[in-house]
Amino acid sequence: MKKLAYALLLLPAMSMSQAWAEDRPVQVEEKTVLNYSTGGYATVEIQKPVAHVFKSLTNVNIWPDINKGVTLRIQPENVKVQQGIKFKETIASPIPGIKNWTNEWHVLEYIPNKKFVIAGWETYAQVPIHSKISYEFAEKSQNTTEFKRTIEVTLDKKFIEGASKQEVEALYRFVGSQWEMAQHLKNYIETH
């Protein structure tokens, strides 16, 4: 009788744990909500068709040629961009006291001739900060593209208080360089 009572008491617990084991997901992917608290953007007109501009920018293998003095290297070599892939960009430091760094970019959106979005953790600072760069393309005329480059970052008090003066300056320089970076693309495309 004691064994039967004990078995009846354990039965719900056993069935619950068994149900839990059967119901639990095989792979849990952690979703973090990021607070993109600040950013910058620039818009330029490029005298080439939108398909040409989009194809050139999304060929990340030529970024070292487009972004002379900024992008040092792309890895892996010969990466083919599509939504969901990751690639690494080694970036030249614009600020004395900060070493060159490598970001791993994740392609969030890839809509041909319309939009290209990458995001990743900036690795130059001792306090992590996430950035997202959106590239938008609009046809103004058959041979003119309106190109918009937008950066958003998760700047917060923790970063300002924990990062070095040079790291904060590097972030401000990066956020503020959108027009300069858009001009790099414009100059490259209009001369090649």
Q: What is the mean pLDDT of residues 6-25?
A: 36
Three-state secondary structure readout of the chain: CHHHHHHHHHHHHHHHHHHHHHHCCCCCCCCCCCCCCEEEEEEEEECCCHHHHHHHHCCHHHHHHHCCCCEEEEECCCCCCCCCCEEEEEECCCCCCCCCEEEEEEEEEEECCCEEEEEEEECCCCCCEEEEEEEEEEEEECCEEEEEEEEEECCCHHHHHHCCHHHHHHHHHHHHCHHHHHHHHHHHHHHC
What pTM, to 2 d.p., does this model score?
0.83
pLDDT on residue 31? 62
Q: pLDDT tens-digit profile of 128-163? A: 899 999 999 999 999 999 999 999 999 999 999 999
Asked if the model's pLDDT at residue 12 lies above 90, the reply is no
List, for residues 88-130, the tens digit of each pLDDT value: 999 999 899 999 999 999 999 999 999 999 999 999 999 989 9
Question: Are the CB atoms for 187 and 48 separated by under 8 Å?
Answer: no
31-58: per-residue pLDDT in tens?
678 999 999 999 999 999 999 999 999 9
Domain 35-191 has CATH 3.30.530.20: yes
